Structure formats: C-alpha cells, structure tokens
Amino acid sequence: MTTVLTYGTFDLFHIGHLNLINRLAELGDRLVIGVSTDEFNAGKGKTSVVSYEDRARIIASIKGVDLVIPETSWDQKVSDIKEHDVDVFAIGDDWRGKFDDLKELCEVVYLPRTDGISSTEIKQMLRVLDPQHITEMQEALAVMSRLLEHYRDLT
C-alpha cells in the first residue's frame, strides 16, 4: 500500500488542480490531501473565494482522493507523514526544492504544473467582467476620444 500526500488551497477548482490530483493518484494506492484552511491561507497572504468547507468537500468528492485533512500550519507535514504512514510527498513543481527536507521521511516528487491556468488568473479575468470595472473603462475611453478630438482640431 503506497500512500501519497499533498497540500494545497484548491480555490476556484480548475483543470490544473484536477490534472495534479490525477497525477498524484497514479503515484500510489492511497491519496491524502491537506486543504489549506481559510486562516492558514490568510497567513499565506491568500484570500480564497471558496470557503475551506466547500473546497474540502470538492476535493473529497474527486475519484482517487481517499482522505482530506485540514492544513493549518507549514509545520504539520512531518507529523502528517508519520501519522498517515506516507510513502510519497508530491506537489506541483512551482514548489521545486522547497520540501526536500522531507526526503528523510519519504520520497519527494515535484510534478509538472498545468500552464495557462491558476486561481489568481481566474480572479483577474472575473475582475475585468466586474460591471464597475467596465464602467471605469468606458469612462476612460470617453476621455481618450475627447483628447484625440482635441488634438485632431489642433493639427
């Protein structure tokens, strides 16, 4: 029985998260995922759109995920590895090298990220669609067209 462990926020669940979870499931027979709590995210400087409870339920419902635990601290990895008898710690390669200290306890694997998608990019796209933002853009365009008219009259 090979147990795999990872951690993440998994906000605004997207295909990059699913690709990673599928890759994690291929590394062993049992997959444990630590989902960052809202309080822990605040410590990461992250404000997740989706609550911890909902993010944890989404992750728990994915085929191949056997257990979801809360991630409340950077320092819980060692005790989690021991408590859950973890053989492989794996995470996306944006973290490459950051968790090599865990190699004393288990195998450490950095998996390729999915390019072109992230919770941050999704939030940025949603912001552009925000009506207030569109009003601001329309006002800016109106000012720019008046300025162009003005310069055109001067030439």
Q: How many residues bind ligand C2G (CB under 6 A)?
A: 16
Q: Which stretch binds ligand C2G (CB under 6 A): 3-11, 56-64, 81-89, 134-142?
A: 3-11
- Which of 58, 69, 102, 117 is in the footprint of ligand C2G by CB under 6 A? 117
Nearer to ligand C2G, 20 or 108 (CB): 20
Does 91 sit near ligand C2G (CB under 6 A)? yes
Both structure tokens of 136: 């601001």
Is there a contact between 75 and 39 (Cβ–Cβ < 8 Å)? no
DSSP per residue over 71-112, as a string?
Answer: E--GGGHHHHHHHTT-SEEEEEGGGTTTTGGGGGTSEEEEEP
Amino acid, res. 112: P
- Which of 26, 83, 85, 94 is in the footprint of ligand C2G by CB under 6 A? 94
Does 10 sit near ligand C2G (CB under 6 A)? yes
Alpha carbons 151 and 131: distance in angstroms, whole number: 30
116: left (phi over 0), alpha (psi -120 to 50) or beta: left
Give the binding site for ligand C2G (CB under 6 A).
7-10, 16-17, 20, 36, 71, 91-92, 94, 113-114, 117-118
* Active site positions, annotated: 44, 46
